[in-house]
Amino acid sequence: MDVLTDLLHRARAQNALVRQLIQRPPWGMTYADAPPLTVAATLGGHAWAWLGDSAPVRLAAGDIALITAPGGYTIADDPATTPQFVIREGRKYLPSGASADPHAMLAPRTYGDGLSGATVLLRGVYELHGDVAFRLLDLLPPLAVVPSGPRTRAALDLLSAEAARDEPGQDAVLARLLDLVLVIALRAWCTRPEAAPPAWYRALTDPAIGAALRLLHGNPGHRWTVASLAGEVGMSRAAFAQRFAALVGRPPLGYLTDWRMTLAADLLRDTRQTVAEVARQVGYQDPFAFSVAFKRARGRTPSAWRDFGAPSESSLR
């Protein structure tokens, strides 16, 4: 199981939403309660994006902004432009708080004036979910800009063309294309000098340790041992344990336990499986041993976690 694919699959709460704005300057919008992950790109013209009082960042044509800021963000044609609208809970308001008229619809999922000299802004959002989402969001700062490149531009052009179509299965097509844009952008970002991806992501490029991580994600409920993992990737037990800890930042079974507790936290929150069933699904035959491990990792017993939810600090950032 590819680790990044696994995280994207498990963190998704619902299909992605794609919208396109074709608007002549001046224009600007503040997204007051942005979803956990936004993909925004300029396909024509340019734009500026910023978080609260932070310095604006310019998006040239073809650049992609990956935004994970919980407090919202603003995107406009120019930092000097006062945002005309505030988007909150999917509705459009004037800065005064009064409801605003929607943009004119030019095509399916496409809004604006469509006039000559307009900026073309493509925006896709993900509603991520659960503890698994933390690992995905840890790949990114609150605002990351990926410069235009041949691979990202080709994917963006295809997504833009499909966003304006309305045919059977179109939502599925858009979701998969947005996934493509996101994965290409994530990989591009993580290679940039200013990026600081977590150790597990950097370890994926190591043939042996990357293979071991894929095994753990592909079958987290298996009775893995350090020896069995080492044998699967063709290393001695001692050399494997040392290399895994050096690259990932924790021992193999420590990483596995943390991943199992992450999966268990979401299963307890999202399903009605019994604690014993959740325990077995994540590799524990003894529910008591699972409960002890879960409380050590999450600070609550499995039953308390289910009844009262995660502590407030575990909300998406």
DSSP 116-158: TT-EEEEEEEE-B-TTHHHHHHTTS-SEEEE---HHHHHHHHH
CB 60 within 8 A of CB 77: no
Pairing of strands 91-93, 85-88: antiparallel
pLDDT for res 315: 42
Provide φ and ψ at 249, rounded to 5°.
90, 5
- Which residues, 6 or more positions from 315, have their beta carbon under 8 angstroms from its beta carbon? none
Q: How do residues 120-160 score in pLDDT, each as one tens digit?
A: 999 999 888 788 888 888 999 999 999 999 989 999 999 99
Q: pLDDT band at 14, cuts 50/70/90?
A: low
Q: How do residues 45-100 score in pLDDT, each as one tens digit?
A: 899 999 988 999 999 999 999 999 877 899 999 999 999 999 988 788 998 889 88
Distance CA 9, CA 112 (A): 33
CB 262 within 8 A of CB 216: no
Q: pLDDT band at 115, cuts 50/70/90?
A: confident
Q: Report which residue type is found at 183.
A: V
Output the CA angle 16-17-20, nearest 5 degrees: 140
pLDDT for res 155: 92
Distance CA 246, CA 240 (A): 10
Nearest-10 crossing angle of helices 3-11, 207-218: 30
How confident is the prediction for the chain on average, in pLDDT? Answer: 90
Three-state SS for 98? Answer: coil
Nearest-10 crossing angle of helices 252-270, 226-233: 110
Top pLDDT among 222 and 105 is at 222
